[in-house]
Amino acid sequence: MPKDKGTPLTPVEIRQALWMRINRAQTCHDLFRDIDRSAELNLVKFNRNLRFFRTCESALHDATVVAVYSLYETPNGRVGFRQLINAIPDKHMPPDLKLEFLSRVQEIMPAWRKVSIVRNEIVGHQTSTAQADEVRERANLTFACVDKVLAHSRQLLFDIARQCMDTHVDFMTDTPGAAERLFSQIADPMMLKPTEP
């Protein structure tokens, strides 16, 4: 049943939303990396389906950036780790543990800021003060950086759920290799035989 407008989310609902975003971001990130890697190995297939794969790459990149950005958004009223930490009652998260979790949020901020730059100046909004390539160079957002933020987020959510919510969370790990499976389903144009008249 949908919530009435203005009804705040419970800590469990915030945890669930973060879990879904982490899984979505990880899936998109894995697929984006796989397509990037597989394209070199399947150049002919990639080029024959260029529009499809370029559109997929762009959509997966943008979805990854938006989902990862949202995990640590700062405005109140947005679902993020700070909101989850602050929503859990003191009886379930004592002040010293709350400070520890908030400190862990701060630890990942340098890597998250790289995501933030790309999200705020290319993906979510396009800046008119710099070229996209200049923004990308300044942000220096790499696959490794996104991996770091996602690994940190998975561990943080797992620890909060286990220590303060008497539950645990599992994350999807089956997306690596999906692009290679997709490429294997596409016919190799070099192997196609001409039709008989």
Residue 71: which of 2, 184, 148, 164 has the closest Cα? 148
Would you say residue 197 lies in a domain?
no
Instruction: Output 56 or 158, whichever has higher pLDDT.
Output: 158
pLDDT average, residue stretch 150-169 = 91
Would you say residue 194 lies in a domain?
no
Residue 19: which of 77, 80, 69, 76 has the closest Cα? 80
Range of lowest pLDDT (4-18, 33-47, 57-71, 109-123)? 33-47
Q: Residue 129 has what pLDDT?
A: 74
Contact 64, 93 (CB under 8 A): no
* C-alpha Rg value of the chain to the nearest Å: 20
Domain encompassing residue 165: 11-171
Contact 112, 102 (CB under 8 A): no
Residue 192, pLDDT > 50, answer no
Would you say residue 137 lies in a domain?
yes
Contact 64, 28 (CB under 8 A): yes
Distance of CA 32 to the CA centre of its chain: 11
Contact 14, 79 (CB under 8 A): yes
* pTM strictly above 0.95: no
Would you say residue 21 lies in a domain?
yes
Would you say residue 184 lies in a domain?
no
Would you say residue 187 lies in a domain?
no
Give me the number of domains the chain comprises: 1
Would you say residue 192 lies in a domain?
no
Residues in the chain: 197
- In our burial notation (b when 16+ CB lie closer than 10 A, e otherwise), range 100-116 reads ebeebbeebeebbebbb
Q: Residue 111 has what pLDDT?
A: 94
Residue 15: which of 153, 154, 152, 161 has the closest Cα? 161
Would you say residue 191 lies in a domain?
no
In angstroms, the CA 59 to CA 118 distance is 14
**Distance spanning both ends of the chain, measured CA to CA:** 61
